[in-house]
């Protein structure tokens, strides 16, 4: 359902008007917007890259509907309107030559391009920013020199309407502030970058002696997300390739992952992902046009099936998907994804401990 896919950003984009847009198209878009729920909770679950694809897909759907119903809007006009929206979003950037290059509202044509000078390497928000990073454009998106313009002033990036290559344009990125790297001692949150994650882990080990991790399993487990707040607790995600599930005859697979939440007694509500925190439920109101969120008073927390003492931690087994350990007022909750069996988890837990316990 479209109301479950479109986030606030998409709703904002669809409300923009870029002339010329026929009245029939605006009426169609407004009809869609009137049926969207006033509140949506899915935005936090959809990655930046996926939100961008959904936004582009929605624009493409509007293009198809308008062509089929009205037959009065050509693809080039829609493409121009879409590309204008891309160029006008000034928060989009690419890092090149140690500087942020941001969209300045300009577009150029292909004959105005010079040679390709690079490409986007990583998409997302990073602590240690490097050339090739972008907060919007996907990896492998090409960067170009602009003919007769110095690279120290402006460059160009290619944008497309999803996979529709003929609906493409080149928007101008203007050089702005230089990249300033953060103080490494202040990095307590990192993901998907081994260097950043390693720095964050070192900082957490120093500041939180109760912080526990898998020690001696570096060849089997890789930490790819870590987050620490001294007032809330710690989160660490490990990839576990041996627990990956590969579907027969399909290119899709379920990645083996251990999601670990570490918190003091009484602080579980800091982790809404926890199986033991209070739960919310969604209720449709106003004939399905709005959603309200309220506590689920019928929710009952899981009950353990078995307990084990492993090292100095008492572990409770709830299912193959949920374990929780307890030691000196600290809880270590582990949720699993993939083929993480009980025997495998029991083996792994013998390596789970605070560094000070080595």
Per-residue confidence of the chain (358 residues) as pLDDT tens digits?
A: 444 443 444 334 433 433 444 444 444 444 444 444 444 333 433 444 455 555 555 555 555 545 444 444 445 554 455 545 554 556 789 999 999 999 998 999 999 999 999 999 999 888 899 999 999 899 999 999 999 999 999 999 998 765 445 567 899 999 999 999 999 999 999 998 999 999 999 999 999 989 999 999 999 999 999 999 999 999 999 999 999 998 876 777 899 999 999 999 889 999 989 999 988 888 888 887 788 888 888 888 899 999 999 999 999 999 999 999 999 999 999 999 999 999 999 999 999 998 765 5
Among residues 170, 178, 157, 173, the alpha carbon closest in space to that of 101 is found at: 173
Phi, psi of 308 (to 5 degrees): -140, 145
**Consecutive H or E run containing 197:** helix 194-207
- Pairwise CA distance, residues 299 & 277, whole Å: 10
Judge whether 130 and 181 are in contact, CB under 8 Å. Answer: no
**CA within 13 Å, CB half, 181:** 9
Phi, psi of 193 (to 5 degrees): -130, 110
Residue 355 CB partners (closer than 8 Å, separation 6+) = 205, 209, 211, 213, 215
Among residues 66, 55, 5, 80, the alpha carbon closest in space to that of 31 is found at: 66
pTM: 0.68
Please report, for residues 136, 305, 328, the alpha-carbon distance to residue 103 in angstroms, rounded to integers and kept in the order given: 11, 56, 52
Please report, for residues 21, 79, 170, 324, the alpha-carbon distance to residue 74 in angstroms, rounded to integers and kept in the order given: 10, 9, 20, 58
């Amino acid at each position: 359902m479209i109301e479950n896919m479109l986030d606030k950003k998409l709703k904002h984009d669809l409300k923009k008007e870029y002339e010329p847009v026929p009245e029939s198209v605006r009426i169609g878009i407004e009809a869609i917007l009137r049926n969207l729920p006033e509140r949506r909770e899915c935005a936090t679950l959809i990655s930046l890259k996926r939100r961008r694809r959904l936004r582009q897909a929605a624009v493409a759907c509007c293009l198809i509907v308008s062509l089929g119903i009205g037959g009065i809007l050509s693809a080039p006009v829609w493409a121009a309107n879409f590309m204008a929206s891309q160029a006008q979003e000034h928060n989009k950037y690419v890092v090149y030559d140690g500087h942020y290059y941001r969209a300045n509202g300009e577009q150029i044509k292909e004959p105005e391009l010079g040679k390709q000078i690079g490409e986007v390497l990583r998409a997302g928000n990073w602590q240690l920013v490097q050339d090739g990073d972008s907060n919007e454009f996907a990896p492998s998106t090409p960067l170009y020199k602009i003919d007769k313009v110095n690279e120290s002033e402006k460059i160009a990036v290619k944008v497309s309407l999803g996979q529709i290559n003929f609906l493409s344009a080149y928007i101008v990125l203007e050089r702005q502030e230089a990249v300033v790297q953060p103080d490494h001692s202040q990095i307590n949150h990192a993901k998907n970058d081994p260097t950043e994650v390693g720095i964050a882990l070192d900082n957490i080990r120093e500041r939180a002696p109760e912080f526990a991790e898998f020690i001696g399993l570096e060849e089997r487990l890789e930490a790819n997300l870590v987050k620490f707040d001294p007032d809330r607790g710690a989160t660490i995600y490990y990839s576990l390739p041996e627990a990956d599930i590969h579907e027969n005859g399909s290119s899709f697979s379920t990645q083996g992952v251990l999601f670990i939440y570490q918190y003091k007694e009484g602080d579980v509500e800091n982790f809404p992902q926890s199986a033991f925190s209070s739960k919310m439920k969604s209720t449709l109101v106003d004939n399905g046009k709005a959603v309200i969120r309220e506590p689920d008073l019928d929710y009952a927390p899981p009950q353990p099936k078995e307990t084990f003492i492993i090292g100095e931690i008492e572990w409770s087994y709830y299912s193959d998907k949920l374990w929780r350990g307890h030691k000196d007022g600290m809880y270590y909750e582990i949720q699993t994804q993939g083929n993480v069996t009980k025997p495998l988890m029991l083996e792994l837990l013998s390596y789970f401990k605070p560094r000070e316990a080595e």
